[in-house]
Amino acid sequence: MAATGGRHFLQIPGPTNVPDRVLRAMAAPTIDHRGPEFAELVRELLPALGPVFGTTRPVVVYPSSGTGAWEAALVNTLSPGDRVLASETGHFATLWTELAGRLGLDVDMIPGDWRHGADPAAISERLRADTGHAIKAVCVVHNETSTGVTSRIPELRAALDSAAHPALLLVDTISSLASIDYRHDEWGVDVTVAGSQKGLMLPPGLGFTAVSDKALHAHRETAGLPRAYWDWTPILAANGGGYYPYTPATNLLYGLREALAMLAEEGLSAVFARHQRHAAATRAAVRSWGLEVLCADEREHSGSLTAVLLPEGQDADAVRRVILDRFDMSLGTGLGRLAGKVFRIGHLGHFNDLSLAGTLAGVQMGLQLAGVPIKPGGVEAALELLK
Ligand SMILES: Cc1ncc(COP(=O)(O)O)c(C=O)c1O
């Protein structure tokens, strides 16, 4: 890599850039997680987390990656052999259902082209046909980080309601929480899964599940998958006193407190609008270059990242390599079946107009240096929109 001054541009769609305020908040002595100061921190943190999820119900925080929170959502609500319905929106929807299969769940995956969100009509059809209510949960990735496509959760909720189907609705918001409008309670979601390393502007290391009353009931009355570390019951009991039944990630929780304060200062609706605006400016750039945005439905463009499809015969990873070598910027690679075909621009978390301008300038120069035939006006198109 070329030696450069200035900061690395970390423009993958998570982990995202951690604000200095959050870094400073984490650089504090680790305290006794069974002492009074820690209990005070937790009693302050847990209620402050609710608004970010759009919930007044419990949010369980794990020292884990997002994958751990995926597992927690399943083992706390389902039993061996239970059927779960999912939509193949991309790489992460696929990985979640593979994990479900390894836990002994029976997955019905509605095939997809990785350019659209979960189809409410297809889900509705499956639910209506399931008159015996064998399907116990519908699993959806709100924002597919591999494709830059957002699924329309209120329409999926309506599909469950209009079929009068009792399945739980489990939603992965790992790359949408605190970036794209999301409402756990209002949208009738039963378990919302999240992670620390994207919209929450923290390093990786915290996993979250927000839990509805219905999910808690399923957890207590019916769920029979083996669970130990992920079990909500002892965690919720300990949380009541401000504690955890294991050693929590104390310093990440300091960071979380600071990140939540930053989000509250900006206001969540302003945070969502900022992400939408940067996403629109990014699409303006991509289209001006004469390239294609992977997301194929105008209603489903992601606010937090944009996947850029390269013309046949061009290697997206070669473009990423040039950009890393020359401009010290990391972009997201193509995952699964999109390997080599797309690169992904993360525009989420701690990010502003000039971060976007710099990011798009690096992408434009990198495309040109890598020999991808583009029209040159992309950056200007984005700047026009930002002005
Ligand atoms: C939508 C989505 N779900 C799940 C995951 C997996 O999370 P983790 O890598 O933190 O385990 C990711 C990671 O990027 C993701 O973007």
Burial of 118: CB neighbours in 10 Å, binned 0-12, 13-18, 19+: buried
Measured CA to CA, the distance from residue 91 to residue 127 in angstroms comes to 24
- At residue 100, the 3 state secondary structure works out as helix
Tokens of 316: 């997206």
Asked whether residue 4 is domain-assigned, the answer is: no
How far is the CA of 204 from the CAs of 52, 58, 64, 291, in angstroms? 18, 21, 8, 32
Q: Do 56 and 44 fall within a single domain?
A: yes
Task: Give the nearest ligand 1 atom to 197 CA.
Answer: 10
80 with 204, same domain: the answer is yes
Give CA–CA dist 206/342, Å, rounded: 28
Query: Could you give the CA distance from residue 166 to residue 144 in angstroms, rounded to a whole number?
Result: 25
User: Which segments in the chain show pLDDT lower than 70?
Assistant: 1-3
177 CA from centroid of ligand 1 (Å): 12
Same structural domain, 258 and 273: no
- At 1 the pLDDT is 55
- Residue 191's closest CA among 295, 72, 100? 72
Nearest to 307 by CA among 69, 115, 118: 115
* Residue 319 in domain: yes
Six-digit token string for 351: 């990010």
* Closest ligand 1 atom to 146 CA: 16
Instruction: Check whether residue 109 and residue 25 sit in a common domain.
Output: yes
Using DSSP, state whether 60 is helix, strand or coil.
Answer: strand
Question: How many Å lie between the centroid of ligand 1 and the Cα of residue 99?
Answer: 12
The candidate with the shortest Cα–Cα distance to 281, out of 149, 148, 380, 147, is 380
Q: What is the pTM of this model?
A: 0.98
Same domain for 145 and 237: yes
- Residue 317 confidence (pLDDT): 98
Separation CA 106–CA 76 (nearest Å) = 16
87 lies in some domain = yes
DSSP state of 114: S
Which tokens sit at 192?
């919302």
pLDDT of residue 327: 97
256 and 295, same domain (yes or no): no
Tokens of 200: 């929450």
**End of a domain among 229, 264, 299?**
264
Q: Which of 264, 282, 301 is the last residue of a domain?
A: 264
CB–CB of 268/52 below 8 Å? Answer: yes
> 141 and 278: one domain?
no
CB-CB neighbours of 129 under 10 Å: 10
Q: Say yes or no: 251 and 325 in one domain.
A: no
Residue linked to tokens 């029979």: 224
Into how many domains does the chain fold? 2
- pLDDT for residue 223: 85
What's the CA gap between 229 and 226, in Å, rounded?
A: 10
Q: Which of 92, 191, 193 to mutate to test the pocket of ligand 1 (most atoms within 8 A of CB)?
A: 92
Rounded-to-integer distance, Cα 71 and Cα 94, Å: 14
| Atom number, ligand 1, closest to the C-alpha of residue 195 | 10
Asked if residue 243 belongs to a domain, the reply is: yes
Out of 174, 206, 208, mutate this one to test ligand 1's pocket (max ligand atoms within 8 Å of CB): namely: 174
Question: Which pLDDT score is estimated for 77?
Answer: 98
Asked whether residue 56 is assigned to any structural domain, the reply reads yes
Report the alpha-carbon distance of residue 94 to residue 113 in Å, rounded: 12
Which DSSP string do the residues of 157-173 spell out, in sequence order? HHHHHHTT---EEEEE-
Same domain? 144 vs 179? yes
| Ligand 1 center–CA 92 separation, angstroms | 7
Q: Clarify whether residues 192 and 137 are in a common domain.
A: yes
In a domain, 3, yes or no: no
Domain-located, residue 201: yes
Q: Is 329 helix (H, G, I), strand (E, B) or coil?
A: strand
- CATH number of the domain where residue 100 is located: 3.40.640.10
CB atoms within 10 A of CB 22: 24
Query: Residue 216 belongs to what domain range?
Result: 20-264
Residues contacting ligand 1 via CB (< 6 Å): 14, 65-67, 92, 141, 145, 172, 174-175, 195, 204
253 and 275 housed in the same domain: no
CATH number at 334 reads: 3.90.1150.10
Contact 28, 21 (CB under 8 A): no
Answer whether residue 379 is part of any domain: yes
Name the pairing type of β-strands 292-293 and 305-309.
antiparallel
- For tokens 């029976």, what's the residue? 106
Tokens of 321: 């390599």
pLDDT of residue 2: 58
Rounded CA-CA distance 363/373 in Å is 13
Of 264, 279, 314, the position where a domain reaches its end is: 264
β-pairing, 9-11 with 329-331? parallel
Test site for ligand 1: of 144, 145, 196, most ligand atoms within 8 A of the Cβ: 145
Instruction: Say whether the peptide bond before residue 15 is cis (omega within 30 degrees of 0).
Output: yes
Phi and psi at 244, nearest 5°, equal -130, 155
Residues 30 and 103 in one domain: yes
Say if CB 215 and CB 190 are below 8 A apart: yes
